[in-house]
Amino acid sequence: MTKIINIADPHVDATHVGGWDQAKGIHSNWIESFARFNDVIDAANKIKADFFVVDGDMFDTGKPTAEAVALVRDALSRLHKGCTVILLDGNHDQQTVVANHRTPVAAYFGDLPNVIAVSTPQLLDVNGMQFAAVPWLRVAGKSKVKNISDELKSVVESLSNRVKGGPAMFAAHLVVDECTFDNGMESRGSEMGMATSLLEAHIPTALIDQGSWSLARLGHIHKRQQLSEKTGYAGSIYKVSFGEYRESKGYDIITIDDKNNATLEFGELKVRNLVKLDLSSTGTDSISDIEKVNEGDIVRLVVDHDGADSLDIKNAKARLDKLGISNSIARQPRPKREASARATGAAVDTSPINALLLYLDRQGITDKDERDAMVHELGTVMGTVGIK
């Protein structure tokens, strides 16, 4: 029986939310992320896991500081003897993005004897346990999305064909068509929209389900979700951004027997809360909801575009500041002004009087006396009366 602890998207050096903790001399997000990462290390030691698998995005910045790398190395060194670590490159660990200074995880952990760093798709066989590992495949340019999606399909099919039989698991950092996520303001629905707008390659869940592995665990989408009996996203181990404020966080506890039968359990972590209070005119929250905020939470107050200066909002923010609770204000987008359509038939050389008549037609102003009065008024201003 093989025991596996699986996580995804630690983003340990992220600083998207929170702020500098003066007393501890470190960013509050680092306190949260490294604490949760060490919690998972403890869980792996508790069950004497054979493998510790990270499905990409160990770091957030793409080029972590020496301090961040050292903290992860220290955490991994606490794993019990006999536990093999498998680290996949995510989109934040891209091998070829020189301009953005991103570096594969092998550069930081490849020298550790118990670590296997995966920067290219491959089938690993460690003491009879097989891992079909697919790190992030980068898309460079709009025209390449389909090509990379096709390549991703070929990679999955090839790895499946290479599985010899026996226990096997699929681990990857990628997008499947059916997954969903939330951006913290409103649901963005299908990941297909993300694939087209952010140039991300994608494949159907069914393709992964057809593989020779008993279980498939994915990274990249921070929302934990099971897409089929076999395939799902592990989700991030803490709330990296406000898009995850409603989600439970944790890790996978996986067992796979010699006949390739797998069981999956969720190990929930106690994480820092991100609290979003929608105080805008369309929101459902109220100022009184601030009473529910606890020490250590991070609060986002959502207001109308011009609502940040209201007395209620100022008082709410002052109260949170006094309690030492990290908070910020997010303005709703400015309401879109309805654009006026051009009158059909108007052109550069259309006379002002004829343009006025076209405008009156479009506005549904048909009363003859009213139309004549407006034409006469315009003609008077122009020094001429009548249609030219």
Read off φ and ψ for residue 301, nearest 5 degrees: -100, 115
Q: What is the pLDDT of residue 348?
A: 58
Residues 6+ positions from 228 with CB-CB distance below 8 Å: 205, 206, 209
Determine how many CB atoms are found less than 10 A away from the CB of residue 54.
31
Q: What is the pLDDT of residue 336?
A: 66
Angle at CA 112, nearest 5°, toward 106 and 116? Answer: 55
**pLDDT at res. 192:** 42
**Whole-number pLDDT of residue 378:** 80
What are 51's strand-pairing partners?
Answer: 4, 84
Question: In this structure, are residues 2 and 48 in contact, taking their beta carbons and an 8 Å threshold?
Answer: no
Longest distance between any two alpha carbons in the chain, whole Å: 97
Confidence (pTM): 0.78
Distances from the Cα of 110 to the Cαs of 105, 107, 116, 302, in angstroms? 7, 6, 7, 44
Which of 78, 85, 64, 62 has the alpha carbon at shortest distance from 6? 85
Structure tokens at 308: 């940040």
Q: How far apart are CA 3 and CA 85, in angstroms?
A: 12
Rounded distance, CA 344 to CA 352, Å? 14
Please tell me the predicted confidence (pLDDT) of residue 193: 44
- Which pLDDT does position 53 carry in this prediction? 98
pLDDT one digit per residue (tens) for the chain, 388 residues: 999 999 999 999 999 888 877 778 888 899 999 999 999 999 999 999 999 999 999 999 878 899 999 999 999 999 999 999 999 999 887 655 544 556 788 889 989 999 999 999 999 999 999 999 999 987 666 667 788 899 999 999 999 999 998 999 999 999 998 888 765 444 343 344 444 445 688 899 999 999 999 999 999 999 999 999 999 999 999 999 888 888 999 999 999 999 999 999 999 999 998 988 888 888 888 888 888 888 788 898 888 888 777 888 888 888 888 888 888 888 888 776 655 555 555 565 678 888 888 888 877 888 888 888 888 878 777 765 444 4
What the block records as the tokens of 274 is: 């991100």
Q: Which amino acid is at 214?
A: S
